Structure 1
Amino acid sequence: MTEKKQQIRDYLAITVGTILIAFAIKNIFDPVSMVTGGISGAAIILKELWQVPLWLTNTVLNIPLFLAAFRMMGWQFIGRTLYSTAMLSAALYVLPEMGLVKEDMILSALFGGVLSGVGTGLVFLGGCTTGGTDMLAVLIRGRLRHYSSAQIMQVLDGGIVAAGALVFGIRPSLYAMIAIVCVSRVTDRLIEGMKFSKEAWIISKQDKEIAEAVMERLGRGVTSIKAVGMYSKEEKNLLFCVVSPKEIVKIKSIVREFDPHAFFVVSDAREVFGEGFIEKEDRIT
């Protein structure tokens, strides 16, 4: 894939992701006063207190963050995050209000969490974030280097959720916790699903035949490693191969075809870089 096509795919993912996040904020979380942290949570609070539109709060609170980030780290750091933040504000302004789940708090927490999680995952896969507390955490870490960005962001989001509890009461905040867990789980699953692979370890006397079949039928590389059985003291060849999840079934079939008694181990590979897999490391900018 050319760099231009990859950029188009990234920006498409960012656009769709920000629209999904905006929809969840405006039509699910806001109607039931569910503050899930971040700038969006602060926007829901300000709307309740002073009737400030969601899109306006998202824009105004992010402007000083971007100016500070640009001054401290330059344009390269801001990158696509500026686009995603602008898209989020635009989507919050343009999207119509629809009472989908109304007063059902459980449905709001679950459906909103899933929708926002998918959107957040797409934005991350596009190589950026939606700004807000993510960027603020990075800026604060410039002063407090003994804390990680994740730790600082947890404190910031926790403070916003606590503020939501003061404004709306404890009940919506407890449901917001469910939504936060859903967002985190769905985001992680989406990201892992795009990078998830399987690794196969095979010990067999028919190692050459198995390796040739895998390379010819699946087009995957196979590495042979010299090994010694500590019990039998016998020298063996250990085959190592990384494939996609759907290809592991074909690997099993090939192994059974040549050696039904082969020792075969399958494990998860969270991220695989190289030919046939991820060609370059993702950048969150």
Structure 2
Amino acid sequence: MQLQNIKGIRIPEHVNKLRPTRESVRDHLLIVIGLAIYAFAWKGLLLPHQITGGGVTGISALLYYAFGTPISISYFILNSILLVISIRSIGLTFSLRTIFGVGVLTLLFSIIPIVPKGTFINANDSFMACVVGGILSGIGIGMVFMSNGSSGGTDIIVKMLHKYRNVTLGRAMVYCDVLIISSSYLIFGSIEKVVYGLVTMAVYSITVDTMINGVRQSVQFFIISREYEKIADRINTDIHRGVTILNGEGWYSHEPVKVIMLIARKNQSLAIFRLIKEIDPDAFVSQGSVIGVYGEGFDAFKVK
């Protein structure tokens, strides 16, 4: 049995392998908290004021307004169909967390009642309801995305767009949601309701984009480790980012060292740190923000 020395204590290797499990538990807990915030935003603010948002939840809201169908039932049925697409297109790992997210959110929609209009926001102030509801739902889904989870629905489509195209999550959501929100005119015959829905979508998208991508900042890593080959391989396969290996020399010891240079999105930083800690907790890591990164996988050149 291999042993690893950390801070003078020799710990069996199989104990160290439990650490990713703790991270997984933390991620799932954050997913549940985020979904609870999202469900409250709908049941406590948006549905009482008859505001339509985007995604499958928005479609379920339209069915609720038109036919009285419980939002939890239509949400679950529509997601069951989309999950088949998720498994084939995105992969089993994301799909498992999507199944978890869909199950939790369906349960939350079932147990959280629709509160009477005016309970949290003045009954005649639908604009404030759409703004606060958009912020809360964006915070909730942002927490879910940051934990590599999903609430299902058009999040699946958004995740595919974000995976294969250089487009922000917020912008991809706009493309998926405008048509759904505009459809509320067929039910209410009110442009005002459509405008409220679009305001909710805009606030929601900006909130999610801010939480996930910040201002689309990129970060630069310099990593010095004896396990540089393992770290570089895992960054390629798990993070899907290219790395460059630089030759260096420790000036005090005059020993040759390998330096991993890496450019990644800001929202990938946590996953990279987790990966490095798992392979080599004693690695030396420098992270810095970069103003602009241009080329494949990042922004296009904007000069004429």
RMSD of equivalent CA atoms: 3.7
State the AA in 2 paired with 1:49: A
Q: Which has the higher helix share?
A: 1
- Bigger Rg, which one: 1
Pair 1:161-2:181 in alignment: yes
Change (3 A) 1:272 1:177: closer
Pair 1:67-2:80 in alignment: no
The answer to whether the 8 A contact 2:40-2:112 is kept is yes
Residue number in structure 2 paired with 1:36? 53
Among 138, 148, 153, the residue aligned to 1:127: 148
Change (3 A) 1:277 1:82: closer
Number of equivalenced pairs: 209
5+ long unaligned stretches in structure 1: 200-268
Paired residue secondary structure (1:32): coil
TM-score (normalised: structure 1): 0.62
Q: Distance in 1 between matches of 2:36 and 2:65?
A: 22
Q: Distance in 2 between matches of 1:15 and 1:103?
A: 32
State the AA in 2 paired with 1:61: L
Q: Distance in 2 between matches of 1:273 and 1:53?
A: 37
Measured after TM superposition, the shift of residue 164 of structure 1 is 1.2
Change (3 A) 1:185 1:146: closer
Pair 1:190-2:240 in alignment: no
The answer to whether the 8 A contact 2:105-2:151 is kept is yes
Residue number in structure 2 paired with 1:233? none
Change (3 A) 1:135 1:270: closer
Change (3 A) 1:273 1:184: closer
Q: Distance in 1 between matches of 2:127 and 2:67?
A: 27
Residue number in structure 2 paired with 1:105? 126
5+ long unaligned stretches in structure 2: 1-15, 221-263, 277-304
Measured after TM superposition, the shift of residue 113 of structure 1 is 1.0
Listed as ranges, the matches of 1:131-146 within 5 Å are 131-136=152-157
Among 169, 175, 181, the residue aligned to 2:202: 181
Residue number in structure 1 paired with 2:68? 51
Q: Which has the higher contact order (CA 8 A, sep 6+)?
A: 1
Paired residue secondary structure (1:12): helix
Measured after TM superposition, the shift of residue 170 of structure 1 is 1.2
Task: Using the aligned pairs only, state the percent identity.
Answer: 25
Q: Distance in 1 between matches of 2:192 and 2:267?
A: 43
1:200-252 CA-to-partner distances (Å, cap 9, x unmatched) read: xxxxxxxxxxxxxxxxxxxxxxxxxxxxxxxxxxxxxxxxxxxxxxxxxxxxx
Paired residue secondary structure (1:128): coil
Listed as ranges, the matches of 1:1-285 within 5 Å are 2-71=19-88, 74-99=91-116, 100-101=120-121, 102-136=123-157, 153-168=173-188, 169-191=190-212, 271=266, 278-280=273-275
Q: Distance in 1 between matches of 2:108 and 2:67?
A: 21
Paired residue secondary structure (2:273): coil
TM-score (normalised: structure 2): 0.59
